[in-house]
Each structure stands twice: as structure tokens, then as C-alpha cells.
Amino acid sequence: MNIMVVGGGGREHTIIKKLKKSKDAGKIYALPGNGGIAADAESVNIAATDIAGIVDFAKNNAIDFAVVAPDDPLVLGAVDALEEVGIPAFGPKKNAAIIEGSKIFSKNLMKKYGIPTAAYEVFEDMEKALAYLETAPIPTVIKADGLALGKGVVIAMTREEAVDAVHSMMEDKMFGESGSRIVIEEFLEGPEVSVLSFTDGKIVVPMVSSMDHKRALDGDKGLNTGGMGTIAPNPVYTADIAERCMKEIFLPTINAMNAEGRTFRGCLYFGLMVTKDGPKVIEYNCRFGDPETQVVLPLLESDLLDIMIKTSKGELSADDVKFSSGAAACVVVASAGYPQHYEKGYEITLPEDLPDTEIYVAGAKLEGGKLVNSGGRVLGVSSTAATLEEALKKAYAGAEKVKFENAFYRRDIGAKAMKILMEGKN
Ligand code: AMP
Ligand code: GLY
């Protein structure tokens, strides 16, 4: 089968490397791909948001199956557009991708169907939002309604910070039109868990759980980023919590989407917080997480293409999805200064033949045959092993061997998880 993967980051590189192992996989294209992905798939210079370009490419290149990985083309309706011309695709349609595309939609869905989440208020009028903040409990959380490249969330520790956030979203339009409507919500406390799942609209099959490390610097200091590293499985996600999540969150969510006439087929990502009152939804994503995918898919033992095809047809069975009982760790190597100003164009040297380790390239391009960095998060070094401790050792050994000027990575990926595992043993 000829396959097209829309997107061009570390997540897409991971998906492509896994698809290559699928028994029915033929030629694989990446739109737009990147300099590292080019070693595993033919990179085609069409932007992930160019829906018409994507559809034309698929028609002209005998594509049998498409995988739409990033949020923006999903929210723009890429899957609908492909299916209209008869090309089956993995990913939710536009009317279901709204579960990530609008925070107000997802909060209202949870309220209507009794799915546990932080209490919240919606505001379209800045004066009303400011008046509400005068007596709101602090800390509080302010979120822009629409997609804001993962940056539209402010955790305000003081009333002043909350007021500033409302001004910058609603008045200064820091996140563009995304911020013309906002959600102000209750501040929740507890460890976070990411659970990606395959759902065909009938059943939901959770993948192995994971933990992201969002801040730029060690000890969860520094600015929020797209993610500086991940581990799987997440030790917070015990069998008991998993059972509650299935009953209280996962099934109610797909049933709610069906009841709204917005059947979700694809990868539904549950961003959860395990509070003292039980697991609650922090956010939904309508797609694989990045860099969660870099630790989840390496542990998948089943055929990814087969799962994706069955998911898109509404024919998924829990038996189709098997994960190994081992662990995985991914260390993101970034260009110093990320997520703010960082330099581009440094030549990258990659180590070869690292045991049980893959390098998933995110922000790099080929220039005269050389790989140079073109983004802040340059690549992820991802290792698997029987235990998390071993996986972390291998991933760090690999990260140390990646060379480019100004390279930096967090030294404490997995440290929190190791601590929980150690405490559990005592
Ligand atoms: P989001 O983009 O919705 O995932 O939010 C980014 C990060 O902000 C999450 O991973 C949480 O760490 C934090 N966060 C979001 N909502 C809340 C909340 N209601 N209470 C506490 N932390 C939150
Ligand atoms: N790593 C968080 C996300 O993909 O949204």
C-alpha cells in the first residue's frame, strides 16, 4: 500500500518508522517531512495545512491510505477532504477534531455528560472576565479557546498575573483570534498522565500511559515547551486508576461524541491529572502527542498500519493492539535558547548503531547533503528496555553522542517517575 503521512516532526518520524515495519506498507511519503525523515520516507514539500495540496498529491500518487498527524490539518478538515475523494485516512473528521480545536467545546461537552474536569467559566467579554477575577479562587488557570500552538494556557499564581493574562489574550490578542473567547478554570493539583488511545467510535483501546516533561529546564524550571522528554509507562497510572479512567472518562467521552453526532475515529489523547478526588481531564488532543508518541509507539508490538486501517473503518478490536511490558524513555535534544530565541543551521552528527535506540528527528533539514538544525527541538533519542532505569540509561548514552553546536537537553527526564517507582518498592 502507498501511504502518505501528513506532518513533519519527531512524532511523524516515529509513526513512519513504525509503519515501515507493517506487513502491507509500500512506499511512504511525508508531507512535508524533514531532513531526518527523508532517510525513511520520501519528503514532499507540501505544508501540513495545505489541504488542497495534500488532496491533489494523494490523488496523483496513488495513495491508498493517509495518516494525518498534526492538530491543525485535522481541525481544518483534512480527513474529510481526503475521504471526499475516496482516500481512506486515519484521524478524526473536522466535526470531531473540535474536541481539541475549541476548549469551550470540550469543557461544555464534559459538563453536559458529567465527565470529571476542572470547574470553569467561559467569557467573551473582557470586562466580565476581569470582574469575575476579583473574587475568583487563586491560583487560577486562563485558557484561550482555540489552538494556540500549546501556548494558550496561563497558570496564574496571583490575581495580578490572572488580570495580565486576560488583558494579553483578549485585548492584545497575543494568541490571535484564539483568545477572543477564554476559559477561566479551577486550578487542579496532582501528578499528570498522558493516555493516548485508539478509538473507532465504538471501542476505546488505551495505549501504554506516558509522562511528558513540559518545562525547558531541569527541576521543571523555565518556560513551557512542546515537551523536552517523555517516559512510558507512567507509574502514576496504576491498574486502579486505569479502570476508573475507562469507566469515568474514556467511554463517557466517546459516547458523548457519538451522542453529539461527532463520532471520533483516530487517536484520542487524554491529558489527565490524578487529583485527590480521582482522575480529571486537563485537556483532550485529537491526535498523537509529541513527544509522547516517541515512547508509546516503540512499545507497540502489533502492526500499526493494520490498527490504523481498522480504526478508520470502525472495525477495531481490543485484540488488535498489544504493547510490550517493557519501558521507554525519550530525551529531546534542543538548540540552546529554545523555546525563545535559538540559532539554526548547525550541522548535526548522529551516532550509529545504538542498542534498542532510535533517533526521531524533529527540527532539521538537509543542506547540501548535510543535516542541519532548523527548529528548536531538534530530535529525540528514544530507547526501550525491560525497566525504566535501563531505558533512561540508554537514551542518555545516545543523547550524549548527538553532536551539534549549542545542543542541550534536560538531565532529569524520568527522575520523577523513578522516584515514584522507588517509593512504591519501599
Ligand atoms: P494544556 O495546554 O491544556 O495541556 O495545559 C498545559 C499545562 O498546564 C498542562 O499540562 C498542566 O500542567 C497545566 N494545566 C492546565 N490546566 C490546568 C488546571 N486546571 N490546573 C492545573 N494545571 C493545569
Ligand atoms: N506533548 C504534548 C502534546 O503533544 O500536546
313-333 pLDDT per residue, tens: 999 999 999 999 999 999 999
- Residue 307: phi and psi, rounded to 5, are -65, -45
The whole-chain average pLDDT of the chain stands at 95
Q: Tell me what pLDDT residue 266 has.
A: 98
**Ligand 2: residues within 6 Å at CB?**
150, 212, 227, 285, 289-290, 292
Q: What angle do CA 195, 198, 200 make, to 5 degrees?
A: 140
Residue with the smallest CA separation from ligand 1 atom 6 is 153
Q: Which CATH architecture has domain 192-425?
A: 2-Layer Sandwich (3.30)
Closest ligand to Cα 271: 1
Q: Ligand 2 centre from 179 Cα, in Å?
A: 20
Give every CB contact of residue 227 below 8 A, 6+ residues apart in sequence.
212, 213, 214, 289, 290, 291, 292, 332, 377
- Confirm or reject CATH 3.30.1490.20 for domain 125-180, answering yes or no: yes
Computed from CA positions of residues 354, 360, 362, 365, in that sequence, does the dihedral angle turn out positive or negative? positive
> For residue range 228-267, what is the model confidence (pLDDT) as tens digits?
999 999 999 999 999 999 999 999 999 999 999 999 999 9
Arithmetic mean of pLDDT, 363-382? 96
Residue with the smallest CA separation from ligand 2 atom 3 is 289
Q: Tell me what pLDDT residue 178 has.
A: 75
**How many angstroms separate the Cα of 352 from the Cα of each of 9, 13, 355, 358, 359?**
20, 17, 9, 10, 10
Please report which confidence band the pLDDT of residue 153 belongs to, taking 50, 70 and 90 as the band edges: confident
| CATH 3.30.470.20 location in the chain | 192-425
Please report which confidence band the pLDDT of residue 150 belongs to, taking 50, 70 and 90 as the band edges: low
The residue whose CB lies within 8 Å of the most ligand 1 atoms, and thus the one to mutate among 104, 107, 282, is 282
Q: Tell me what pLDDT residue 149 has.
A: 62
Answer for the pair 90, 65: CB distance below 8 angstroms, yes or no: yes
| CATH 3.40.50.20 location in the chain | 3-91
| CATH 3.30.1490.20 location in the chain | 125-180
> For residue range 120-144, what is the model confidence (pLDDT) as tens digits?
999 999 999 999 999 999 999 999 8
Q: Tell me what pLDDT residue 177 has.
A: 77
For cell 491533489, the residue is 56
CATH code: domain 3-91 is 3.40.50.20
> For residue range 42-86, what is the model confidence (pLDDT) as tens digits?
999 999 999 999 999 999 999 999 999 999 999 999 999 999 999
State the Cα–Cα distance between residues 382 and 391, nearest whole angstrom.
Answer: 8
Residue with the smallest CA separation from ligand 1 atom 4 is 283
Closest ligand to Cα 288: 2
State the Cα–Cα distance between residues 241 and 339, nearest whole angstrom.
Answer: 33
Three cell numbers written together for 42: 520520501
Q: Tell me what pLDDT residue 174 has.
A: 82
> For residue range 346-366, what is the model confidence (pLDDT) as tens digits?
999 999 989 999 999 999 999
Q: Exposed e or buried b for every residue in 85-112, given b needs 16+ CB within 10 A?
A: eebebbbbbbbbbbbbbbbbbbbebbee
Q: Tell me what pLDDT residue 165 has.
A: 93
Number of helices and strands in the chain (H, E): 14, 23
Q: Tell me what pLDDT residue 426 has.
A: 67
> For residue range 203-223, what is the model confidence (pLDDT) as tens digits?
999 999 999 999 999 999 998
Nearest to 409 by CA among 268, 276, 230: 230
Arithmetic mean of pLDDT, 276-290? 97
Q: Ligand 1 centre from 207 Cα, in Å?
A: 21
- Count of Cβ atoms closer than 10 Å to residue 235 Cβ: 21
State the Cα–Cα distance between residues 31 and 21, nearest whole angstrom.
Answer: 20
